A and B are shown apart, each in its own frame.
Chain A
Amino acid sequence: MVKDELKKYFEMLELPPDASLRDIHNSYLRLKKLYAGDSIVLAPLGEEFPEKKRKKVLDEIEEAHLKLLAAKKDEPSRTAFLFEDALSPEKASSQPEKAVDLPTTGPSLRKIREKAGVDLSEISKEFKVRIELLKSLEEERFEALPEAIYLKVHLKNYAVFLGLNPAKIIDEYLQRYQAWKKKK
């Protein structure tokens, strides 16, 4: 992505251009909470800061978050081996799809993580999230996981940390989570 464009997204999340993944994550959560809720900080402005404007800000925050996560994903990651397999000519011809089209269940995510040599404590430290929660996520212990809106954020971070595409993981994981919730 063009550098200037990235800078714009960092600015939208009120971050310096060298912000870490964790900074991006924290800013995103904080700003989303601010503009989606009814904070005493917004109240005094009343109609000078109307609903319409607020929606626009929320959209910008979402866009910036996605774009920045994607940009971070492009940085060399420790899970590059997954894609190398697919790209090396002899393997690509035999199983072109398989290596990239990853399974998205908790246990398979754990396998990828272990193969990449990433410890849960690293993810925990990066995003200030409890290791217990990450374990529950890998074991798909849905009862121990937070509401979908927060779960989505954890999944996204987990995926991004491993250099995986978050969209598919979130999608399929949440489908299983929602199915479990319905049964309950």
Chain B
Amino acid sequence: MAQTTKVREGEIWAVGGGKGGTGKTFITSSVGTYLAKKGKNVVLVDMDIGGANLHSFFGISRPQKSLTSFFEKGASLSDLVVKTDFDNIALITGDIHSIASDKITFSQKLKLFRQIMKLNAQNVVIDLSAGSHNNTLDTFLIADRMIVVLVPEVIAIENVYHFIKNSLFRKVKKTLKEYGFKEIAQHIWDHRQNYGINNLKELIDYLKDSFSYIGTILDHELASFKIHLVLNMVRNNNDILLGASIKSVMMKYLGVPIQYSGYIEYNDAVWKSVREGRPFMLNYMATGCAKQIEIFVENMIKGKDVSLPVGF
């Protein structure tokens, strides 16, 4: 479905990561602002169902239009794009009347994805909900760049594993379904003990080894599954190195490419900036944070890992 319709001009980036409060919305707004500063025509989409607040980062307190109209009145997505006070950045406000994520029907979801892909923008950046709900994962999977945000803390790390694992499993299942192997992945996973399978990588390896046709399909489809990791609110070098460790463990454990694209240091100016209602990247250009956002975005574009501090 999503994979087959890549006729659009712009790129879709999605920002997820499982845990709430890690700064997904801050990253979305800052990445968007930086892209806009670079001259890209950017539309930000707030898909944080029930917790939408991306608009506050742009000084909009009472949005006139929101995704609610899309879900309840069938409004077209392109009519819901609102301009911000800042050059090149427009916004689709999230559903502020907290419609529950599981109330969204399958056909609404497909329609939403179709319309996101048709948005008139060079860059669409989507802010996702916390958690690993299927709708969140599906939105994540339509993106050209999949960004995962976390903070240096055990629960956030756990949630990120969960999120990446679930995204990958979802991708495998959807891919196989598209090729007519309906529930095979789920079935084997449910009976994994009989197959001597302990984890997702072993499941994927098993599928590839047992059915060469499936192997070819998965190799092809999973080639585009690449995660960009960004570590937010770091306070020291050890925190920064955690990102590299997470990348290492996830690659060795899941066998999927992960790029540790950036880290952003903790800074109180982020909170101040939200209160002031102006984009952080415009208000606090000279901070370390702002520089690190730039490095993070450039690394993503170039396909490069962030450089690590060295020494022992």
Partners in one complex: yes
* Residue pair A34, B310 in contact (C-beta under 8 Å): no
Does B245 sit at the interface, judged by CB under 8 A?
yes
* Residue pair A47, B308 in contact (C-beta under 8 Å): no
Q: What A residues does B251 contact at CB under 8 A?
A: 14
* Residue pair A41, B249 in contact (C-beta under 8 Å): yes
* Residue pair B311, A48 in contact (C-beta under 8 Å): no
* Residue pair B198, A34 in contact (C-beta under 8 Å): no
Does B68 sit at the interface, judged by CB under 8 A?
no
* Residue pair B253, A45 in contact (C-beta under 8 Å): yes
B241, closest chain A residue (CB): A30
* Residue pair B249, A42 in contact (C-beta under 8 Å): yes
CB distance from A60 to the nearest CB of B (A): 9
* Residue pair B310, A41 in contact (C-beta under 8 Å): no
* Residue pair B154, A49 in contact (C-beta under 8 Å): no
Does A174 sit at the interface, judged by CB under 8 A?
no
CB distance from A126 to the nearest CB of B (A): 11
Q: What A residues does B253 contact at CB under 8 A?
A: 45, 48-49
- For B242, B251, B312, the residue with the greatest tally of chain A CB atoms inside 10 Å of its CB is B312
Does B246 sit at the interface, judged by CB under 8 A?
yes
The 8 Å CB contact of B246, one of A29, A30, A41, A150, is A41
Q: What A residues does B161 contact at CB under 8 A?
A: 44-45
* Residue pair B198, A47 in contact (C-beta under 8 Å): yes
* Residue pair A31, B248 in contact (C-beta under 8 Å): yes
Interface string of A118-151 (1 = CB under 8 A from B): 0000000000100000000000000000000010
Q: What A residues does B177 contact at CB under 8 A?
A: none
> Complex formed: what's the CA distance from A13 to B244 in Å?
11
Interface positions, chain A 28-45, Cβ under 8 Å from B, are: 29-31, 34, 39-45
CB distance from A147 to the nearest CB of B (A): 12
* Residue pair B199, A41 in contact (C-beta under 8 Å): no
Does A175 sit at the interface, judged by CB under 8 A?
no
Q: What A residues does B199 contact at CB under 8 A?
A: 48-49
Given the known interface contacts A45-B253, A128-B310, the answer about A14 and B248 at a Cβ–Cβ threshold of 8 Å is: yes
Does B157 sit at the interface, judged by CB under 8 A?
yes
Interface string of B234-245 (1 = CB under 8 A from A): 000000011011
B249, closest chain A residue (CB): A41
Does B291 sit at the interface, judged by CB under 8 A?
no
B152, closest chain A residue (CB): A40
Q: What A residues does B55 contact at CB under 8 A?
A: none
Q: What B residues does A40 contact at CB under 8 A?
A: 154, 157, 242
Interface string of A42-82 (1 = CB under 8 A from B): 11110111100100010000000000000000000000000
The 8 Å CB contact of A44, one of B157, B242, B248, B312, is B157
Does A26 sit at the interface, judged by CB under 8 A?
yes
Query: B: which residues have CB within 8 A of A?
Result: 154, 157-158, 161, 198-199, 241-242, 244-249, 251-253, 308, 310-312
Known pairs A44-B157, A48-B198 / 17 extra A-B pairs, C-beta < 8 Å: A14-B247, A14-B248, A14-B251, A22-B310, A26-B310, A29-B312, A30-B244, A30-B245, A34-B245, A39-B245, A41-B246, A43-B154, A44-B161, A48-B253, A49-B249, A49-B253, A128-B311
Query: A: which residues have CB within 8 A of B?
Result: 14, 22, 26, 29-31, 34, 39-45, 47-50, 53, 57, 128, 150
